[in-house]
Structure 1
Amino acid sequence: TYMFKYDTVHGQWKHSDIKIKDTKTLLFSEKPVTVFGIRNPEEIPWAEAGAEYVVESTGVFTDKDKAAAHLKGGAKKVIISAPSKDAPMFVVGVNEDKYTSDINIVSNASCTTNCLAPLAKVINDNFGIVEGLMTTVHAIT
């Protein structure tokens, strides 16, 4: 609860009271939020928790085979929050129209791609881009 209440980026949480109900549940204004501390995604009871869509943001399960472990745990769809070597990649404003509902595992690309691609698409579609260069800087995580 401390990390939710005192975030170093967003500051102090002031929207509702946060309490610990039990070892698996946090309460946000009495609304229960289930928390898991399980390393193997196959063992996370997503269906039991009512989760249909899972955002895979550990940086560990970034290919389709590894991300599919969440499906075995009961999730219906997995969104990888990083580039993937084999999952189809979709960026809103660029190619989300190519998504079809039969795709269960997708990559939402990288933070850099999500920042640059929509702008580059507009410029390219309207004026053309011959070549470009960009850099990105990340803090240590």
Structure 2
Amino acid sequence: MIKLGINGFGRIGRAIFKILQNDRNMKVVAVNDIDPLIENHAYLLNYDTVYGQLSKKVKADQQNNILVSNSNKIAFFSEQNIEDVPWGDSDIDVIIDSSGIYSNVKGSHKIINSIVQKVIITHSPKDSIDQTIIIAANENRYLKDKHHVISSSICDANACAPVLKLINENFGIEDGFVTTLHPWLGYQNLVDGSVQSVSSPGHYWKDFALGRASQDSLIPKKTTLMSA
């Protein structure tokens, strides 16, 4: 049984938690998020605007600071930095960092080997990772003894890479372009205003169009697909 920790309990973190609820080979044993309200995390797991209600409800034990799912007790922490979380108390093998914060990518290297074996980053940082792995595209490049902080890349890269690999291997690709359409994201505004970066807190986007009201605007933006 592989024991997992989740750092960053937003859309991706909660989706991973739900997927693994009934997995027989992996289980989540610890969660860390900067929002300290454990009862809010239980609520967001149980009721989701997109996915509906969770069939097996999660409970929040505020006194012991744990989430209870299927009789499993998941330790809950609220630390700003990934390296400050007492992951070792839960005997964790792998951490999934879905915080989206660049400083946590760098912090992951501080806990490798001494506390955990691997950290999987759910976005594509500019540096500080050992390898980017996309399933059905390049998983054969993974080296167990060398790659410890691993990026799973970004959504549009995961959508395109397996298909492009198949086409290239069978027919060849000389040139091309990609257009991605994306729904609004958590960091965007409901009304016009400035917009901060999630990965680099305190940094304001210079792409001013990103600050426009998300539900009323079609906002052109470069994709990092090709560099990811």
Aligned to 1:3, the other structure's residue is in SS state helix
What aligned pairs does 1:104-119 form with structure 2 within 5 A after superposition?
A: 104-119=148-163
Q: Deviations over 1:15-53 (max 9, x none)?
A: x23222235201113211122211111111112112211
Partner of 2:185: 140
> When the two structures are superposed, what TM-score results if normalisation uses the length of structure 2?
0.56
Identity %: 30
- 1 CA distance for matches of 2:91 and 2:53? 29
Letter in 2 for 1:125: E
> When the two structures are superposed, what TM-score results if normalisation uses the length of structure 1?
0.88
2:137 to 88, 94, 116: 94
CA RMSD of aligned residues (A): 2.0
- 1 CA distance for matches of 2:177 and 2:80? 38
Matched, 1:19 2:63: no
With over 3 angstroms needed to count, the CA separation of the structure-2 counterparts of 1:42 and 1:66, relative to structure 1, is closer
- 1 CA distance for matches of 2:159 and 2:174? 19
Unaligned 5+ segments in structure 2 are: 1-41, 187-228
With over 3 angstroms needed to count, the CA separation of the structure-2 counterparts of 1:62 and 1:109, relative to structure 1, is farther
Aligned to 1:85, the other structure's residue is in SS state coil
Number of positions where the alignment pairs a residue of Structure 1 with one of Structure 2: 140
- 2 CA distance for matches of 1:131 and 1:55? 35
Aligned to 1:35, the other structure's residue is in SS state strand
With over 3 angstroms needed to count, the CA separation of the structure-2 counterparts of 1:73 and 1:24, relative to structure 1, is farther
Partner of 1:57: 98
